[in-house]
């Protein structure tokens, strides 16, 4: 006789036998509950660029009509469906970039502080996870002096968090955001001025300024590019090595899905909303024409990608992870 039946019995009972055995340890592991410090590293010519995740900000969707002067609810509803975003809140990642040229270690922006914007302030954990120490940083290059871009300059006691770094920032932004007289004149009120002074004040003898009105090479291979409007001296930084280049922007967009689809929408928080629109249009047109790699402080994490035309606006296409 062919022993067919015992073999079948064996096969069919195996899964049940496995199910009744003690559970594998992995199935009962506690949920971690917290995200790992985020960093992602790429190579651009001879330069290493590491994106760091400082955290994120959540804006109640109900606040969006006050954030955008030209808000159109029907347009945003269509974008929300297309982008699959969670209803109720608009999420805004906060990042920063480490640029290692081989000669200099520079940070472009440096994250926020959770006492100012809850959900931000983890840059230093991400920096450590990425293999760098704060004392190795030679320069912090600021796109502008807003809290979630600059408060990482100081620790909880208001001391320099980067003891050997100079702070490089446009003369226009430095003058504007450190002037107490501006407390009553900026869209966000005195808190933003006070935060800016707290961030850059301890570096008073290590500040290097440049004119945001024209391109300036601030370190070999790293050039400040005008993007004025969000703040009086807002800039992007272009990094070039060999025949490769990328642009890292600060706040050319905050809500990437909405603002790439509607690049002409003015923001209530911009110091000069019309100039900011002009800067956004010029930056996006250049990136699309050049097919240049782009990074941005509030772009979807890990914030490396390209800008492509899409109808009246643009789309962000994330850079595929490649060995
Ligand atoms: Zn920002």
CA atoms of 110 and 154, how far apart (whole Å): 10
Are the CB atoms for 312 and 281 separated by under 8 Å? no
**What spacing in Å lies between the alpha carbon of 55 and ligand 1's midpoint?**
12
**Ligand 1 centre distance from Cα of residue 149 (Å):** 6
CA of 110 to the centre of ligand 1 (A): 11
Please tell me the distance from the alpha carbon of residue 66 to that of residue 71, in angstroms, as a whole number: 8
- Do residues 50 and 41 touch, judged by C-beta distance below 8 A? yes
Contact by Cβ (8 Å): 224, 99: no
Per-residue pLDDT tens digits for 239-262: 999 999 999 999 999 999 999 999
CA of 204 to the centre of ligand 1 (A): 23
Distance 113 CA to ligand 1 centre (A): 13
Does the 39-318 domain belong in CATH 3.40.50.970? no
Distance CA 182, CA 195 (A): 13
| All structural domains of the chain with their residue ranges | 39-318
For residue 249, report the distance from its CA to the centre of ligand 1, in Å: 10
pLDDT tens readout for residues 141-173: 999 999 999 999 999 999 999 999 999 999 999
Distance of CA 18 from the midpoint of ligand 1 (Å): 53
Residue 253 CA to ligand 1 centre (angstroms):
8
Strand segments (E) across 11-66: 38-44, 47-60
Q: What is the pTM of this model?
A: 0.89
Return the closest-CA partner of residue 315 out of 290, 292, 289, 284. 284
CA atoms of 240 and 244, how far apart (whole Å): 6
pLDDT tens, position by position, for the chain (323 residues)? 444 444 444 444 444 434 444 555 567 888 888 778 899 999 999 999 999 999 999 999 899 999 999 999 999 999 999 988 888 899 999 999 999 999 999 999 999 999 999 999 999 999 999 999 999 999 999 999 999 999 999 999 999 999 999 999 999 999 999 988 888 878 778 899 999 999 999 999 999 999 999 999 999 999 999 999 999 999 999 999 999 999 999 999 999 999 999 999 999 999 999 999 999 999 999 999 999 999 999 999 999 999 999 999 999 999 998 77
* Ion ligand 1: residues, CB < 5 A: 251
Ligand 1 centroid distance, CA of 323 (Å): 31
CB of 209 within 8 A of CB of 178? no
């Amino acid at each position: 006789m062919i022993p067919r039946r015992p073999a079948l019995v064996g096969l069919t009972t195996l899964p049940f036998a496995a199910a009744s055995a003690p559970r594998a340890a992995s199935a009962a592991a506690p949920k971690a509950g917290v995200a790992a410090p985020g960093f992602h590293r790429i190579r651009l010519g001879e330069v290493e660029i590491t994106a760091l995740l400082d955290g994120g900000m959540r804006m109640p969707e109900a606040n969006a009509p006050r954030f955008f002067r030209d808000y159109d609810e029907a347009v945003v509803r269509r974008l929300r469906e297309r982008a699959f975003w969670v209803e109720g809140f608009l999420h805004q990642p906060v990042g920063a970039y480490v640029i290692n040229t081989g000669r200099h270690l520079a940070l472009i922006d440096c994250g926020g502080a959770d006492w100012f914007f809850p959900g931000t302030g983890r840059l230093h954990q991400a920096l450590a996870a990425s293999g760098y120490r704060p004392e190795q940083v030679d320069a912090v290059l600021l796109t502008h002096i807003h809290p979630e871009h600059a408060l990482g300059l100081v620790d909880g006691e208001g001391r320099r968090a980067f003891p050997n770094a100079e702070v490089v920032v446009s003369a226009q932004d430095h003058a504007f955001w450190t002037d107490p007289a501006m407390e009553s004149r900026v869209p966000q009120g005195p808190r933003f001025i006070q935060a800016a002074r707290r961030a850059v004040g301890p570096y008073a003898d290590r500040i290097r300024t440049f004119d945001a009105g024209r391109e300036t090479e601030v370190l070999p291979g790293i050039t400040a590019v005008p993007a004025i409007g969000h703040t009086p001296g807002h800039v992007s930084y272009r990094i070039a090595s060999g025949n490769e280049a990328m642009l890292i922007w600060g706040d050319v967009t905050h809500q990437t899905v909405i603002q790439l689809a509607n690049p002409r929408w003015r923001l209530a928080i911009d110091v000069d909303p019309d100039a900011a629109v002009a800067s956004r249009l010029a930056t996006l047109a250049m990136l699309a024409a050049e097919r240049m790699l782009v990074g941005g402080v509030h772009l979807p994490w890990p914030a490396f990608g390209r800008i492509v035309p899409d109808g009246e606006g643009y789309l962000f296409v994330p850079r595929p992870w490649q060995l």
